[in-house]
Chains A and B, each alone.
Chain A
Amino acid sequence: MDYRLVLDYRLSAGRLTPWIEGLRIGKARAHCCGECGRVSFPPERRCSCGSIQTKWMTLPGSATILQRSDGPENSFALARFEGADTLTSVRLHNPEIQSDRGRLLAVPEGPPAQVLALVKPEADAK
């Protein structure tokens, strides 16, 4: 039996709404722990030190790739955004470029996404 179910969700990002809004415009909005100073991107709801006293800050948006995985349709990476103490998974916008540096890309439409545009080494140096 074929059966098709279409569901239209209206999801709220809750306390992390500034992070989602930042992804829409290419801004890396992170949490900085008020207790230990740890910076997390994506923002942790609770710092690893246990504190929930966090404040928002905007990172420069550049990132360094530590691990990378390529597939036929998409490539992903674990990256550390400049100024962050944590790593995060990102989708690579232009995986054909062999580089370990990139910048957060604005994703104005569709689901919020952490997408990194890789930067050629020479362009990064300028």
Chain B
Amino acid sequence: MVLVAGVALTSFNRRKDGSNFRDWAESAVAAALADAKMEPGDIDALVVASESDFFTLQLNPASVIAGDLGLVGAATMRVEGGGASGQLAVHAAVHQILAGTAQRVAVVGVEATASPLSVNAVTKLYGYSFDAWSDGMTGSTATALYALSATAYMARSGATSEDFAQVAVQNRQNARHNPNAHLPLDTTVDDVLASPVVSSPYRRLDCSPLSDGAAAVILAAGGAVPRRRSGAARICGIGAASDHANLGTRIDVDRFSAKTKAMQRACAMAGLTAADVDIAEIYDAYSGAQLQGLEALGLSSDVLAEHRAGAFAPDGRLPINLSGGLLGQGAPVGAVGVAQVATCALQLEGRYHPDAQCGSAPRHALADTHGGVATTAAVTLLSAGEA
């Protein structure tokens, strides 16, 4: 059994206060340790999730973060899998605990995506996170590649730009109840459809922002949590899978097949099915990707009909991205997956931000991420702990 003993997030936004990624990581881990009722000396291992050294010019970031946190001597590693980095780091920690090589592991995801480089520079760098030769050097952008997949999805499913826009509107509405969120906006479908085209069908408000920030979780074996820290949620299933990096090599460019496999693996480990999931944090780098993700994860037999009927709204059958998701909460890439797991744990314990807390006492939560256009998929299933 792996418990989520403590969690913490910094704000996600564009930092203008002179702080840097080491400050954010230190802050997040210190708060997560306090939440877990632990001290740095209790930690056996540190896993750092960070997508790119281009943002910070710090290779081997785990080494310096360990020093900052007073964890010199602990086992350290950095995990990277594009947008899936955060959850892959959580998975690495789970493996360490289940293997018995560590009892308590600190996981911190951190990224300085917004402040160090220009938007144009980051856009160009992200092109190299697909196939650097055939996509990146051709000048393809993340938005363009997602857009090509989304266009195929629209043609197959009948989804419209209005459907996509409604995702962006809902998630940013959800973010209004999250004090850490980057874009807590009160927008309308018309606002989204009137925003400038980035790469059709995606417009600016269909896209998640570039954000700075960090998130941390302290994972622990069942018997390694302080007695005074009761009721912790537990990680009951993890799953990861991959797909061809080149969209054109895939059988269906509009389907997130790696996500389907990752979900099957996590469900098999947990002994659960998609129908058991009560709430989910879905990787909504772009508005349409949320609908493609819901389909791939098997969370609905008719995603579009349920989306249009409000099933994924906070008061719906299956609340999605109560945090605001990437569209609303923000997207410091390495931190995203860790933040999702933290959010799910807090929701299951009933101690999320009060106005964004799911009211129906969820028992099971799903955190879903991917890198590339769902090339590297990683999902985590969590269950409510014992009170």
17 A-B pairs besides A71-B143, A71-B200, A113-B139 with CB distance below 8 A are A42-B134, A44-B249, A66-B152, A67-B155, A69-B144, A69-B147, A69-B148, A69-B201, A70-B199, A71-B144, A86-B248, A87-B253, A89-B135, A89-B148, A111-B137, A112-B137, A115-B138
How many Å lie between the Cα of A56 and that of B148 in the bound state? 28
B14-30 at interface with A (beta carbon < 8 Å): none
Q: Does A76 lie within 8 Å of B144, measured CB to CB?
A: yes
Chain B residue at minimal CB-CB distance from A78:
B148
A64 touches B (CB below 8 Å): no
27 contacts between A and B (CB under 8 A): A3-B57, A20-B133, A42-B134, A67-B155, A69-B148, A69-B199, A69-B201, A70-B199, A71-B141, A71-B143, A71-B200, A72-B196, A74-B144, A76-B144, A76-B147, A76-B148, A80-B248, A86-B246, A86-B248, A87-B253, A88-B248, A89-B135, A89-B148, A91-B139, A111-B138, A113-B138, A115-B138
Chain B residue at minimal CB-CB distance from A5:
B57
Rounded to whole Å, the gap between the CB of B39 and the closest CB of chain A is: 34
B291 touches A (CB below 8 Å): no
Using A5-B57, A13-B133, A89-B135 as known contacts, say yes or no to A76 and B152 having CB atoms under 8 A apart.
Answer: no
Show the binding face of B for A, using Cβ within 8 Å. Answer: 57, 131, 133-135, 137-141, 143-145, 147-148, 151-152, 155, 196-202, 246-249, 253
Q: Mark A45-64, 1 if CB is under 8 A from B, else 0.
A: 00010000000000000000
Q: Does A89 lie within 8 Å of B133, measured CB to CB?
A: no
How many Å lie between the Cα of A68 and that of B197 in the bound state? 14
A-side contacts of B253, CB under 8 Å:
67, 78, 87
A39 touches B (CB below 8 Å): no
Q: Does A78 lie within 8 Å of B247, measured CB to CB?
A: yes
Chain A residue at minimal CB-CB distance from B250:
A87
Rounded to whole Å, the gap between the CB of B118 and the closest CB of chain A is: 12
Rounded to whole Å, the gap between the CB of B18 and the closest CB of chain A is: 9
- A-B complex: 9 closest residue pairs judged by Cβ atoms: A87-B248, A111-B137, A69-B147, A88-B248, A76-B144, A71-B199, A113-B138, A42-B134, A67-B151
